[in-house]
Amino acid sequence: MKHIDLAGHVTGKSLYVDDLPLQQGTLFAVVLGSPIAHGRIRSIHADRAKDLPGFVGLIGATDIAGENQIGGIIADEPLLADEWVHFQGQPVVIVVAESEEAARRARSLVELQVEEHPCVTSPREAYARGSIIGKERCFQIGDPDSAWEQCRHLVSGQGYCAGQEHLYIETQGAYAFTTEAGHIRIVSSTQGPTAVQRTAARVLGLAMHAIEVDVRRLGGGFGGKEDQATPWAVMAALACQVTGRAVKLVLHRHDDMMMTGKRHPYEFDYRIGLDADLRILAYEVMLYQDAGAAADLSPAVLERSLFHFNNSYFIPHARATAASCRTNVTPHTAFRGFGGPQGMFAMECAIAAAAEQIGVQAHEIQARNLLRDGDEFPYGQIAQGARAKACWARLTELNPLDRLDREIAAFNGQNPWKKRGYAIMPICFGISFTKTHMNQAAALVHVYQDGSVAINTGAVEMGQGVSTKMIQVAAHVFGLDAQHIRIEPTNTTRVANTSPTAASSSADLNGHALLLACNRIKERMATVARDLCGSPSVEFREGRVHGVSGHVEFAELASQCYLRRVDLSEHAHYATPSLHFDTVTEKGHPFAYHVYGCALVIATVDCLRGIYQIDRVHAVHDFGSSMNEAVDLGQAEGGIVQGLGWMTMEELAFGQSGKLLSNSLSTYKVPDIYAAPGEMRVDFLNEPGSPAALFRSKAVGEPPLMYGIGGYFAIRRAMRLFDTAMACPFSAPMTPEKVLMALYPETAPSGDERGTREAGGVDR
Ligand code: MTE
Ligand code: LUZ
Ligand code: MOS
């Protein structure tokens, strides 16, 4: 079945928040953010804005009827700054006007004075000052302290990976209006309708039942709308409450880039020890997460970095420690992989460093240490159905490495300046929210008396195809064609208390709830059908219900059920069984299952100019028994390109004053079709997934992003083949500038690169 949004997307008929027809009298809101990264608000004056035609007013912290607090995990973030500001762009006041243009002009006339205070932009510095969020966490297996002695090879070092801008095509936004009796309906571009509802209720001082949140689809979320769609939706609702009128608030791209959090940058220290056979005996890593100015989802992201610090390797003695460090930049948030990619990047840096020191290729180390069934993860779960070796074997069978080495050596021998290199990137990703209680979902299904079906779940469509998969579920149970099934917008009055659509789990969780609901209706309908067909058993297929002899049309059966007063609606709830995790011992069984895979990435570097291309990516990915190969392939390809962008070209940069330097599309480069790999092939490892996977089709949203890490190491390998003595710090992304500076250290600018860039004035 094709993605149900295909036609709407290409014809422009798909609706987003910005497309909604507006009520008469709708007001427009824009947000005034702090001009500096850390300071104390001295004064806010709107005198000059007051005379502007269409200006309605400012809404600030003192207008909040409930609690000025949006922190989900830790209550450390006001919706609107009251006295202090902690990052540049932090929302201070909402400017409301009769038109969007008037609101923007009014904003430029508001005088906001902030007394500047020193700011911290380095996570290591924040850590040294004890400025951490929550507590430091440590996952350990075996006894690394005593294992170092047995190691033949020991390597230690440091590394860094930068953050990443989500760059969803649809920016953050919401439309809020009152319905009746103080009830507010918010149409939001959010992955977490319940988070919006809960937070709006808290800030507006209302009960949750007074807030309805509705989501048709998102023009991309990528984690950026798991938590950070909430403030904009709550601001629209607040402005609606204060003015009594409908309010639309949609961020312009520049505001979105300046005000919203990104993937967390990480710094890390590692130490790795191997025996003479290249087995990793011990590994230790310290992760410094740059959380930004508030907790947001950082503690949960940090936790996932720990869950994935050993990637898909079994290491008998390992310890990972991680701290969420508070800095004066935008509070960073969920982004596809949710901390996993950063933990895995550190692991791959350690392996690359060891390989370079020992004088072997990284894949020789990787291949010797892949996880097997029965191996224990550092958090106590035992690997079951591990496919790390199966994916590796298939990939290297399709791409014999000795042949690849010969081909590459021949190419490199003929090209003095261009060098080609490859890397293999195995992945392992745990499927489930790491917070056990979040692994639940619900669905509400109606079969109408004409036999048409409407389904509701807590899942949000953001391009990933979950709506298509949900329709497949209902179509499968009722034996109907997809066109008879309608998926409704995600709405908190129909499906309540939902987890965000995240952690790649939404098809599994919502799909299982939907299966339960559909099956219960089907059972009731089957009773009637057996009677109508005079048959002891019936089968639902091809729009009919077949008895042993004869059949009844599904539509006729629905009508008969109605006449016999049989309930044609059902609500069902699903909770993933057997999950548990103890945060005191840091052991348990947090994941329903794991997704594995392995990718070969080949890159060619122009060692004269520093530019490169990704020639080929070939992945063997563990999809389980894919329920929709087209959708799943799209997820894999999109994830790979997004991961390559993070690792190679998307240079998120904050200046030392906490100012976002990469604040527009002219200073932040995302991969386009030219940057995508010249050839991309994804093979399906067709082995059925665990029963916790919907139809044994494994979760696919996030894992493929991590193949992109291979791009970093393929480029690095090519550089080393050009200059074997090259000293190149582990610092991602590997931009062309960094390639040049590593190959020609004399060209590196003196002084702080970030400072230079700031002085260079990339600001708009
Ligand atoms: N694919 C598209 N097209 N757009 C998105 O925003 N988000 C990703 C992934 N794939 C995203 C996407 C992220 S971060 C997650 S967690 C999953 O989709 C969420 O959806 P799922 O649970 O249905 O896989
Ligand atoms: N969100 C969350 C996530 O709240 N918990 C998770 O474990 C998670 N994992 C991936 C992406 N989002
Ligand atoms: Mo995805 S980072 O779980 O929204």
- Residue closest via CA to ligand 2's atom 11 equals 503
Q: What was the pLDDT predicted at 748? A: 77
The Å distance, Cα 231 to ligand 1 centre, comes to 21
Query: Is the predicted pLDDT of residue 755 greater than 60, yes or no?
Result: no
The Å distance, Cα 445 to ligand 1 centre, comes to 24
Q: What average pLDDT does this structure show over 685-703?
A: 95
Q: What was the pLDDT predicted at 764? A: 28
List residues with catalytic annotation. 702
CB 56 within 8 A of CB 46: no
- Residue closest via CA to ligand 2's atom 9 equals 503
Q: Strands, DSSP E only, in 210-310?
A: 211-215, 247-250, 266-274, 280-292
Q: At what angle do helices 193-204 and 230-243 cross, to 10 degrees?
A: 40
- pLDDT digits 0-9 by tens, 58-82: 999 999 999 999 999 999 999 999 9
Q: What was the pLDDT predicted at 752? A: 52
Task: Give the span between the Cα atoms of 515 and 573, in whole angstroms.
Answer: 10
- pLDDT digits 0-9 by tens, 730-753: 999 999 999 999 999 987 776 554
Neighbours of 516 (CB within 10 A): 18
- pLDDT digits 0-9 by tens, 188-234: 999 999 999 999 999 999 999 999 999 999 999 999 999 999 999 99
Q: What average pLDDT does this structure show over 593-605?
A: 98
Neighbours of 128 (CB within 10 A): 12
Q: What was the pLDDT predicted at 749? A: 76
The Å distance, Cα 304 to ligand 3 centre, comes to 12
Which atom belonging to ligand 3 lies closest to the Cα atom of 504? Answer: 3
Burial class (CB in 10 A: 0-12, 13-18, 19+), 85: buried
- Residue closest via CA to ligand 2's atom 12 equals 503
The Å distance, Cα 503 to ligand 2 centre, comes to 4
The Å distance, Cα 337 to ligand 2 centre, comes to 8
Q: What was the pLDDT predicted at 751? A: 56
Question: Running DSSP on this structure, what letter comes out for residue 382?
Answer: B
Predicted confidence band of residue 686 (pLDDT cuts 50, 70, 90): confident
**Residue to probe by mutation, ligand 2, list 198, 304, 332, 336, most atoms within 8 Å of CB:** 304
**Residue to probe by mutation, ligand 2, list 137, 305, 338, most atoms within 8 Å of CB:** 338
Q: What average pLDDT does this structure show over 315-324?
A: 98
Name the residue among 598, 708, 597, 601 with its Cα closest to residue 647. 708
Per-residue b or e along 705-728, where b marks 16 or more CB atoms closer than 10 Å to that residue's CB: bbbbbbbbbbbbbbbbbbeeebeb
Predicted confidence band of residue 41 (pLDDT cuts 50, 70, 90): very high
- Residue closest via CA to ligand 2's atom 8 equals 503
Q: What was the pLDDT predicted at 638? A: 98
Query: Is the predicted pLDDT of residue 428 greater than 90, yes or no?
Result: yes
The CA-to-CA distance between both ends of the chain, in Å, stands at 45
Q: Kindly state the greatest CA–CA separation across the chain.
A: 88
Residue 507 Cβ inside 6 Å of ligand 1? The answer reads: yes
Instruction: Give residues (CB < 6 A) around ligand 2.
Output: 226, 300, 304, 334, 338, 433-435, 438, 502-503
- Residue closest via CA to ligand 3's atom 4 equals 223
Neighbours of 694 (CB within 10 A): 25
Average confidence score pLDDT of the chain = 96
Burial class (CB in 10 A: 0-12, 13-18, 19+), 410: exposed
Residue 221 Cβ inside 6 Å of ligand 1? The answer reads: yes
Predicted confidence band of residue 756 (pLDDT cuts 50, 70, 90): very low
Predicted confidence band of residue 447 (pLDDT cuts 50, 70, 90): very high
Query: Is the predicted pLDDT of residue 759 greater than 50, yes or no?
Result: no
- pLDDT digits 0-9 by tens, 338-395: 999 999 999 999 999 999 999 999 999 999 999 999 999 999 999 999 999 999 999 9
Query: Is the predicted pLDDT of residue 597 greater than 60, yes or no?
Result: yes
CA atoms within 13 A on the CB side of 223: 28
Query: Is the predicted pLDDT of residue 720 greater than 80, yes or no?
Result: yes
Q: What was the pLDDT predicted at 758? A: 44
